Amino acid sequence: MASDDIVVSLPPDPDNVVEIWTDGGCKPNPGPGGWSAILTFRNVVKELSGAEAETTNNRMELTAAAEALESLKRPCHVVVHTDSQYLKNGITRWSTGWVRKNWRNAAGDPVANIDLWKRILAAAAIHRVDWKWVRGHDGNDMNERADRLATEARRAAFGADK
């Protein structure tokens, strides 16, 4: 390319973006937990969910993102919506430093949930991923649906009183 060539970067085509909405939680925390992810592509919707007996809210939030990204069949542009500041900040701000410091945090201690962070980074590496934070329990239909799916997964696995 000549130095005077003009390079135009086009915005992503909204018709070719996979939108993912994730959520996870426990009751109590730590305790039985559930996670969910809703993937949308054009007019197709896929819902994923699961549960674990002994876990934390943060582990369930991370599991939702890992499972969603791992379920994609080919590289694509992805927008992940999460109500977890831990997930959003971890992946967009802290993970580069953790990797550089051999998975140690600012205090020099091992990073919590390293197994899940590594899954997310590996799954995200083949995609163009934009991470978006949304306020939880604030009337966003997709976030509310993800919350219900995670709760239903936890209750189905461990009982309605949980």
Query: Taking the model in full, what pTM does it have?
Result: 0.90
For 44-91, how does the pLDDT look when each residue is reduced to its tens digit (9 = 90+)?
999 999 999 999 999 999 999 999 999 999 999 999 999 999 999 999
Beta bridge partners of 19: 40, 79
Number of domains in the chain: 1
What is the Cα–Cα distance from 19 to 41, expressed in whole angstroms? 7
4 assigned to active site = no
Token code pair at residue 135: 């306020």
φ, ψ for residue 43, nearest 5 deg? -105, 15
Assigned domain for 2 exists: no
pLDDT of residue 1: 47
Point out the catalytic residue in the list 137, 139, 141, 161: 137
3-state secondary structure at position 100:
helix
pLDDT of residue 37: 98
**Prior bond to 30 cis, omega within 30?**
yes
Beta bridge partners of 17: 77
pLDDT of residue 101: 96
Q: How many Cβ atoms are within 10 Å of 33's Cβ, its own excluded?
A: 30
For 127-141, how does the pLDDT look when each residue is reduced to its tens digit (9 = 90+)?
999 999 999 888 899
List the CATH number of the domain containing 70. Answer: 3.30.420.10
Which domain does 70 fall in, by range?
14-156
pLDDT of residue 136: 86
24 assigned to active site = yes
